[in-house]
Amino acid sequence: MNVEAPKKLTVQEKALRINLIRAIYGSFAEIGAGQEVAANFFKVGGASGTIAKTMSAYDMKFSDAIYGVCDRYVCEDRLMKMLDHEYVLLPERLPHRMDTTRFFAFANTVEALNYERSNQGHGWMGLRFQLRPNSEPNDCIMHIKMHDNDPHQQQYALGVVGVNMIYACMFLSDPEEILVSITDGLVGKRIEIDMFRISGPDFLDVDQKIVGDAPGEEWIY
């Protein structure tokens, strides 16, 4: 008897499934390459079920005013400040949802390919998320390099990776399975993940070296 493998969902199907689950609700803050991740949730419909806020503090002065002054804008420190700022606003401004909602804050800070194509596109991406209402959140953090030689293709890949990351963290429990699923839907060596870390109360037993917090480990998809 042949048993078919479960069908992999497209990025659109993943975004829609999240949109239709009212218990998952959060914010998107994306700097540097637009708002490709949040855009996927708007395009499939039902985004009001998922999105509390989207923003892009593209100007450095605006970014500093919101998240604090920093020396570099595409770095882990800036990403963590973004998550720190955005996540606490959810229960603070939506206390009536705390007992029924799994809050999340998604953030990325990205340097996409420039007009001259003289730089390496890369960025930091992170998700702070609850698996149950009123629980302490977990963090999933990664650094990616983008190998497409076209800024539009880089932006598309970034959007796919972001949706995959949110979906995996919300519905999968094994860190290695989460990591592998992040590049679903991308063909060719378009994305390189050279740092991946997942931590929090629901991942206390995770060996960070296994999931990629060790220097020099890389995954290329």
Q: Crossing angle, helix 36-44 and helix 151-171, to 10 degrees?
A: 70
Number of H helices, E strands in the chain: 7, 7
- Taking only Cα atoms into account, the Rg of the chain, rounded to an integer number of angstroms, comes to 17
Binned at pLDDT 50, 70 and 90, residue 45 comes out as: very high
Distance, CA of 179 to CA of 176 (rounded, Å):
5
- pLDDT of 18 higher than 90: yes
Distance, CA of 13 to CA of 33 (rounded, Å):
23
The pLDDT tens digits for 135-146 are 999 999 999 999
Q: Which amino acid makes up residue 82?
A: M
Q: Crossing angle, helix 11-19 and helix 151-171, to 10 degrees?
A: 50
Over 6-20, what HEC string results?
CCCCCHHHHHHHHHC
Q: Which amino acid makes up residue 201?
A: P
Set out the domains of the chain in order of their start, with CATH numbers.
Answer: 11-220 (3.90.950.20)
The pLDDT tens digits for 154-175 are 999 999 999 999 999 999 999 9
pLDDT at 114: 82
